[in-house]
Amino acid sequence: MLPIGNIIVKEGIMTSMQTDISRQRKKSATNKRSAIPVRERILVAAGDLFHRQGIRGVGVDAIAEAAGTNKMTLYRYFDSKDELIEEWVRGMVTHKEEDWKDLAAKHRGDPHGQLQDWSRRVSSRLASMENRGSALGNALAELPDPNHPARRVIHEHKQREHKRVLKLCKEAGFPDPALSANLFYMLLEGAHSCVQCIGMRQIGEHLVQVVDLMVENARRTR
């Protein structure tokens, strides 16, 4: 769990710290700057709704209400719904890349350890997407327009991620690093997808087991 700004990002999905912001403030203390500034409340609410109901399945009105504000204020912070989507996606991507940096810092000079820890982190994140799958993956499916800014953000992120895995596989001394990297990446993406129909526990555990097997094997035959 990593804090980004004032937002708490938990397991790949931004979640509101209090379940119902809109209820807490009625007539009194109308605007006591409720700990979290409006803009971030909007982002949190949008992320929650986007993930649960689909990007196209939720209107800006619903987002504003869930954030405890109104549409007008939302449009004072975001030029359009598309920009809101983009910022939400950017937040998730940033968080994931921070996690990679953290991974590298904690296992400096130990690519095997990085890969193993990485599989464990992915596995533990699977719980939050048991019903709706990966938010980034769903976003790709929901934004077919190849020119949508959010799409580019996701695309570039995934390519950076793949590159990083490839680099790790090279450093780890895998005999065919390109093959291993693609295998790891298929496992990563596959786990996010499978969790919807097979369940998180099995998939998470087996993801970890497979990565462990591969890494142990690479360690021994080195």
Q: Interface with DNA by CB under 7 A: which residues?
A: 29-33, 37-38, 58-62, 68-73, 75-76, 79-82
Question: 33 or 101, CB closer to DNA?
Answer: 33
Output Rg (C-alpha) for the chain, integer angstroms. Answer: 19
Interaction between residue 99 and a second copy (CB under 8 A): no
- Residue 142: name its binding partner from a second copy, DNA, none (Cβ under 5 to 8 Å by kind): a second copy
Q: How far is the CB of 82 from DNA (least distance, A)?
A: 6
Q: How far is the CB of 74 from a second copy (least distance, A)?
A: 21
Q: How far is the CB of 20 from DNA (least distance, A)?
A: 14
Closest CA to 200 of 192, 210, 208: 192
Quote the tokens at residue 200. 């998180």
The 3-state DSSP composition of the chain as helix, strand, coil percent (nearest 5) reads 70, 5, 25
Question: 99 or 130, CB closer to a second copy?
Answer: 130
Q: How far is the CB of 213 from a second copy (least distance, A)?
A: 9
Which stretches of 133-178 are assigned E, i.e. beta strand?
none
- Residue 130: name its binding partner from a second copy, DNA, none (Cβ under 5 to 8 Å by kind): none
Residues in contact with 85: Cβ distance below 8 Å, sequence separation at least 6, in sequence order: 46, 50, 55, 139, 143, 148, 150
Is the CA virtual torsion 10, 4, 90, 163 positive or negative?
Answer: negative
Q: Which amino acid is at 153?
A: V
Q: Tell me how far apart the alpha carbons of residues 22 and 10 are, in angstroms, rounded to a whole number.
A: 21
Interaction between residue 54 and a second copy (CB under 8 A): yes
Hey, which residues between 130 and 149 contact a second copy (CB under 8 A)?
131-133, 137-138, 140-144, 146
Report the residue from 102, 202, 216, 217 that binds a second copy according to the rule CB under 8 A: 202
Closest CA to 118 of 103, 106, 132: 103
Q: Tell me how far apart the alpha carbons of residues 70 and 183 are, in angstroms, rounded to a whole number.
A: 46
* Positions in the binding site for a second copy (CB under 8 A): 52-54, 56-57, 131-133, 137-138, 140-144, 146, 155, 158-159, 162, 178-179, 182-183, 185-194, 196-198, 202-203, 206-207, 209-210
